[in-house]
Structure 1
């Protein structure tokens, strides 16, 4: 009988969970609930013309509805009030009163102008009455909150790319973006402060023309966003603008320290920004701030749902009954302006209460003001977990793009076969690519795989990204990481040891916040997110050693041809250079061109005689591999094929095109 009771209890709980979760992938978008028809698209070769969108598509397993749903389903990012974003004008000068370089628009141009956003690497798309009524670029979405609708980003902003394949614009779903999020965020702060005449006056009190221009810009903005323009309403709006500007400026200043080079296009230190969010701004301990100075290339998404880990350093498990992939995605939203209201208890509450005003000003305030307690001692948040679950479910069906032979040239079958033998270790005794990069056929892309995690010293690539995650003290002052508002909180919210005065490393805070978000809204949103978050991964690569995160992931190379530049930090421009000794690789190249190079397999880089990026309409940025965290060394021993004959290098590249 006891066993029957246990069975009935489990069955009853399962029934409750399933009833709460529902069976569909209905998502909340633009004030309504929509469901994309998920009929899988049949596989095909070549390109499909989409004149309504202005580009071609490739066979990747998604139909047109799932594609659009992926682009515009909000995740909970709350960067700026939505109507502000629609009506904000682009700044002509920075908040520091410097002219903005590469200006491509006229005065009084809206920040959301397609020409402007295209120059930053984003992909404008036609309006849609349901998914995208305001005609925003891919990955720009409206997030509903108790304080009104907010503008934010979705994962498609960072994992979609429009490539120029021999004159044809082709959208590759899940490919690394070539966008410049740092310039986007800094430009938004400039746009906000440029209409504050008090700020303009403080920079240069003698520039009456600039002060008048700021007042005129604010008046135009206020008349667009206020239901009725009055002096009182305008004063209140300016107070809100200053508060919002300060929030964004503080985050930008902490993440994008002037001590380190800008990321440029196609790179971002998302993990560093997330660690600042959860370990400094959520704790109230501004001493935990450390610049997000380890930009990496955006990983491609196909195969993500099948892998046991996804991040470059394997920081988060992707295994579990949905909790793994949901937790990973919750962390991603927190890093792109998702709001979390941490509820401090015990000594944590005392810590916050005892912060002096200077300390409070030094830490970035929340982007939303409301912070009620969540369920199970968890945290309230803006994160839309049911939507995240639907997105993860769609990604589980995403497939790699096929090399379009009719556009880029036919595969040389004899060469490719020789390349396959090299890849499998059948030609050179020390070269066996498959030893790290598992071979996954197109028919097997829905099957789980276990990633190969390689120790940083062994692969020899730039260590900054892996090292930053496991720092046990802040390199700025050598002090350990403070727990701050987490003191007295259980590390897993409902279980585990409670935080004392310090954290071992900042990744602990990430785990706590992610679980706090999930438990904080478990029965109204979390269960849907968990049950929808499809993961095919069966094993966990996590190691029981101190250096378990001091590694980089080697993943199957399906679709690798469409994912340049290479290495985890995007410091190698094409596949040919990946097979070149590190001292012979380009020391600098330009990132941002969408023009594909089918011979070397990467993007074209055009530089002027003085070493700058040519202004060819792509607004490309220079990646100097001598700069901090941008080293192009590593993956350069005999094992990686750099000493093969040129003919065999050609053969291996030909085989990689077929994956």
Structure 2
């Protein structure tokens, strides 16, 4: 009777199966595991447009992103390079969770899972969000879209450059701190991924430090300001040491970004402080470079979400925190119409006016010229090469001859005033330059509702030290925007009425 037992496979078949497993199945499994572990590109997304603005990605984490736990550990390991405790001491803002604890990342940063590591870098909100307080004992109101009046970008950059050059920027110091903070690193993270990430980030930041040495040679910008276009010259490999010295020390205030739709419709306004571009999408993509993006890494869908929000985002009303004297404001309305409306719009929502969003020649406006001189014709020509080969290649950047007249929506939250932030309050701006404060302090979010500006007459408060702003220094001049045409000759009562009306914007 035939046996029903299957005969054992021949020896050659066994060898074939073993060889197949070792040369095909095992490598395939390893590849699939590696793809799952180190592949993927997943930013953290937010359904709410304001939350997306505050924490959503622009794509900068791809090239500039710090591994999340390195970002968390650096303020502890390199705290001696900070003016105080943590990123808060640089003016970065942390929101409070319902449980009373602070969020793990500040406003203006985003997180993305890329190459197997959670990466963190800044986004648009780091330059366009700040806080305002009505009284010293009241909590701050966080306002998305206002100038980042507390954020010290130069100190932020210098912190990373100095830390990368410190021996403590190493696995021997960072990994113990990362573990102390509660990171659950697996063996691969502990002995391979994070040691490699630390070495790569150190080399990358040191390379940037070499290119941005000019930053250390400039005077301090202070909170709320940035030397935008000299940074762009570094990107284009300009020989910074050979540039005209008049191009340097040209920081300007961060602008507000509310109500962009009426800035492009029915006619395109001249954007940036000097009106060097009329295309809002070019302006936005240019600004995205400041968040670490490059043409190939720009996250267009998520930037478009920000663009959609800022079209109609509105500033909070002054009356949300402070009362407005309706009778005094009514007295100021005709004064505003006579002295201001032609250049700044009929109101805080109606931007109509012959010269609104148009450049006023420097000889006429008379404000500090450093910001204008820092943006050169050569830089404009170089910017025209950006996004070459893309449908959105830049073509609208140009050199101008003055400063653009801005609409005044939310003007109460845009102090200090003028393009370089050299005048602390609206009331001070209505004085001749000789009567404006020569020295004041920036970095306070406590608001003065009478003069309309942040309190600026003290170097410190509540243990916090503020930045001393000296208008005698290069780029800080507080002259201009004065004379009969600008209302500086009005009586004190009329000036008070005009300021009261501006509170309604």
TM-score, normalising length from structure 1?
Answer: 0.61
SS at match of 2:451: coil
| Residue 313 (structure 1) shift | 1.0
| Residue 450 (structure 1) shift | 5.1
Q: Deviations over 1:300-343 (max 9, x none)?
A: 1113332223211112222xxxxxx3222111111332234xxx
Instruction: Call closer, same or farther: CA 1:326–1:516 in 2, change over 3 Å.
Output: farther
Q: Deviations over 1:458-517 (max 9, x none)?
A: 11111111111125xxxxxxxxxxxxxxxxxxxxxxxxxxxxxxxxx1122223214555
Please, what is the CA RMSD of the aligned residues? 3.5
Higher mean alpha-carbon deviation, 299-308 vs 230-239, is at 230-239
SS at match of 2:57: coil
Q: 1:82 aligns with which of 46, 67, 72?
A: 67
Q: Does the 8 Å CA contact 1:272/1:293 hold for their aligned counterparts?
A: no
Q: 1:280 aligns with which of 237, 243, 246?
A: 237
Q: 1:454 aligns with which of 335, 360, 378?
A: 360
Instruction: Call closer, same or farther: CA 1:615–1:595 in 2, change over 3 Å.
Output: closer
Partner of 2:53: 70
SS at match of 1:627: coil
Structure 1 residue 154 and structure 2 residue 123: aligned? yes
Q: Does the 8 Å CA contact 1:276/1:288 hold for their aligned counterparts?
A: no
Structure 1 residue 402 and structure 2 residue 317: aligned? yes
Partner of 1:119: 89
Please list every run of at least 4 consecutive aligned residues from structure 1 whose deviation after the TM superposition is greater than 6 angstroms.
91-94, 229-235, 285-291, 445-449
Structure 1 residue 506 and structure 2 residue 383: aligned? no
Higher mean alpha-carbon deviation, 558-567 vs 297-306, is at 297-306
Q: Deviations over 1:30-59 (max 9, x none)?
A: 8268563xxxxxxxxxxxxxxxxxxxxxxx
Structure 1 residue 102 and structure 2 residue 63: aligned? no
Partner of 2:23: none
Q: Does the 8 Å CA contact 1:330/1:514 hold for their aligned counterparts?
A: no
Q: Deviations over 1:184-239 (max 9, x none)?
A: 11112233333448xxxxxxxxxxxxxxxx77524425766774377777764554
Partner of 2:37: none
Instruction: Call closer, same or farther: CA 1:70–1:30 in 2, change over 3 Å.
Output: farther
Q: 1:246 aligns with which of 206, 215, 218?
A: 206
CA distance in 2 between partners of 1:136 and 1:413 (Å): 41
Partner of 2:502: 656
Instruction: Call closer, same or farther: CA 1:226–1:83 in 2, change over 3 Å.
Output: farther
CA distance in 1 between partners of 2:95 and 2:69 (Å): 20
CA distance in 2 between partners of 1:294 and 1:550 (Å): 16
| Residue 586 (structure 1) shift | 0.9
1:362-511 to structure 2, matched below 5 A, reads 381-404=296-319, 407-409=321-323, 411-425=324-338, 432-440=339-347, 442=349, 444=350, 451-470=357-376, 505-511=378-384
Instruction: Call closer, same or farther: CA 1:336–1:653 in 2, change over 3 Å.
Output: same
Structure 1 residue 174 and structure 2 residue 145: aligned? yes
CA distance in 2 between partners of 1:226 and 1:456 (Å): 60
Q: 1:294 aligns with which of 250, 268, 281?
A: 250
CA distance in 1 between partners of 2:232 and 2:314 (Å): 28
CA distance in 2 between partners of 1:337 and 1:35 (Å): 20
Which sections of structure 1, spanning at least 5 residues, go unmatched? 1-28, 37-64, 105-115, 198-213, 319-324, 341-380, 426-431, 472-504, 521-529, 531-539, 608-612
| Residue 83 (structure 1) shift | 2.5
Partner of 1:631: 477
Q: Does the 8 Å CA contact 1:195/1:218 hold for their aligned counterparts?
A: no
Instruction: Call closer, same or farther: CA 1:235–1:421 in 2, change over 3 Å.
Output: closer
CA distance in 2 between partners of 1:445 and 1:127 (Å): 38
SS at match of 2:385: helix
CA distance in 1 between partners of 2:52 and 2:220 (Å): 32
Which sections of structure 2, spanning at least 5 residues, go unmatched? 1-39
CA distance in 2 between partners of 1:601 and 1:456 (Å): 26
CA distance in 1 between partners of 2:343 and 2:49 (Å): 32
